[in-house]
Structures are given as structure tokens and as C-alpha cells.
Amino acid sequence: MLEATLANIRIVLVEPAGALNVGSIARVMKNMGLCQLVLVNPHCDYLGDEARQMAVHAQDVLEAAKVVRTLPEGLTQCQGAIATTARTRTLPAPLEHPRVALPWLVDIARQSEAALIFGPEDRGLNNAELNYAQRFLSIPSNPAYPSLNLAQATAICCYELYQLVESKDPSLPEGSDFTPATPATFEALEAYYQQLETLLLKVGYLYPHTADSRMKKFRRLFSRALPSTTEVAMLRGILSQVEWALQHSSKFLGED
């Protein structure tokens, strides 16, 4: 169970610039039983000598790393994602301590794919990238020098994940046959958001110049709810029926 849960958690690095960091992250991932490394548009040679030197006996994690062009590609099939960030002002949801946010990710990983996202060394995750996560994590540190190196931040989170998975899950009593609903995948939610935005633009609830900010609020709403696959299908069915009704409005208005 421990190995299976950890295998479902992917570490996603967005535009990593340092090969030494990537190699160090591969090593700590293997230390903590994690094996899925995803690199979004890497700006370094993640298979070069520097990365391999830092990875030591975790070169298999480097070699198995999945390289993708965009963050949505890196989140394919994920049913939950946490973004790490130090941003506070522009974030539409509260920052959480690792020990508050990560148990949620582990619960998802017990039955499906989940992701922990880290931004580039020089800027962190931008607003558009943060938009793809359901929750936001910040590692508390000394206010006099709060900035953590990418590899260090990843190591802290990997350690916390391992400790959570290794410990017995207290959320379910022994002998319980309760099976939580399967959360909708990243792709299913994105398809729903696209359908919702299109419809709301069509009926005039959204306007092109404000659609982005308003849709972010809808994303936060559904991220808190963590809808299941069945629930997203139901919501999309409602939208489809509304679209059909708009196309056949004369029937409902009694027009010939």
C-alpha cells in the first residue's frame, strides 16, 4: 500500500533551470519512495553530468522523468494537485502548512494520480500556473531569510509525504468498507471549465474582458468542492441541456 500510494504522487517541476537541483530532487525522491518526476519545459540538461552527479543512485528516476511542454500536459490523469508558492496577495485561496495540505494529496493518491507542483527557481509559479492547482502550500521558514532553494523545498515536502504514507491512515476506522468517490480528473475538470465559460459568454453572464478573473473564482469554488467524475458529468449534462434549449428557444417561447 505504501509503495502504491507513493507511486501515484508525481513531482512536477515547471521550467527548472538548474541541473544540480533536478539531480538532487531525483535523489531525495528515491530516498522517500517517490518515482514520478515530471519536467515542464526544462531549461537545463536533466540527463547531463551535473544532474547525474547529484542524483547518485537515483539516476533511474532521472532517466524515467517525463518531459512535457506545458503544465496541463504534466497533470494529465491527475485528480488532485497542490502548488507550492510564497505568494499571498494575489492568491484567491489561503496558503496552507505542508502538514495541513499534504494529507489531502495522500488521500487522493491512495486511489488515483496526484501532483505536487514546484515553480522555476527564479520566479516561482505565476498566476496562470497556480490556476491549475486546487490547493496552495507554503513552507514556513525564518522571516529574516524565508527563501528556500528548489531542491530543499522539494526535499521537505517529499519527507512529509513519506511520513504521511508510512503512518497508518487515521481517517478510516478499521474494518470500514467506505469507499470515497473518485475525484474527477484534471482533463475532465478543464473540459467542464471550457464548456462553462463558452456558455456563460454566450448568455452574457461573462464578458470577454472579465471572463478570466471570473472563471478563476469558479475554479476556486469547484476546487474546494473536489467534485467526483460522476458529478462533473452531471454538471456537463446540465450545460449541454442549456445549450440545446438556447438553440431551440422558439419551442419554449411558443413561437412558430
* Among the listed residues 223, 235, 225, the one whose alpha carbon sits nearest the alpha carbon of residue 81: 223
User: Looking at the domain assignment, is residue 175 inside a domain?
Assistant: no
The count of domains in the chain is 2
Give the Cβ contact number of residue 227 at 10 Å: 19
Asked if 172 and 178 count as a contact pair (C-beta separation under 8 A), the reply is yes
207 and 86 assigned to the same domain:
no
pTM for this prediction: 0.76
139 and 224 assigned to the same domain:
no
User: Looking at the domain assignment, is residue 181 inside a domain?
Assistant: no
User: Looking at the domain assignment, is residue 41 inside a domain?
Assistant: yes
Query: What does the alpha-carbon distance between residue 6 and residue 34 come to, in Å, rounded to a whole number?
Result: 5
C-alpha cell at 57: 543512485
pLDDT, mean of residues 211-215: 90
Residue whose cell numbers read 507550492 = 84
* Among the listed residues 18, 122, 43, 130, the one whose alpha carbon sits nearest the alpha carbon of residue 84: 130
User: Looking at the domain assignment, is residue 177 inside a domain?
Assistant: no
The pLDDT tens digits of the residues spanning 114-128 come to 999 999 999 999 989
136 and 14 assigned to the same domain:
yes
Range of 79's domain?
A: 2-166
The pLDDT tens digits of the residues spanning 21-31 come to 999 999 999 99
Q: Is the pLDDT of residue 173 over 60?
A: no
3-state helix, strand, coil in the chain (%, to 5): 50, 15, 35
User: Looking at the domain assignment, is residue 176 inside a domain?
Assistant: no
> In this predicted structure, what is the pLDDT of residue 75?
96
162 and 193 assigned to the same domain:
no
208 and 153 assigned to the same domain:
no
> In this predicted structure, what is the pLDDT of residue 251?
64
Q: Is the pLDDT of residue 34 over 80?
A: yes
159 and 108 assigned to the same domain:
yes
Query: What does the alpha-carbon distance between residue 26 and residue 194 come to, in Å, rounded to a whole number?
Result: 35
Return the CA Rg of the chain: 21
pLDDT band (50, 70, 90) for residue 176: very low
User: Looking at the domain assignment, is residue 36 inside a domain?
Assistant: yes
Please report, for the domain that includes residue 61, its CATH number: 3.40.1280.10
154 and 191 assigned to the same domain:
no
214 and 97 assigned to the same domain:
no
Please report, for the domain that includes residue 219, its CATH number: 1.10.8.590
> In this predicted structure, what is the pLDDT of residue 89?
57
Query: What does the alpha-carbon distance between residue 155 and residue 32 come to, in Å, rounded to a whole number?
Result: 9
| CA dist list (Å): 155 to 11, 46, 127, 149, 256 | 11, 18, 24, 10, 68
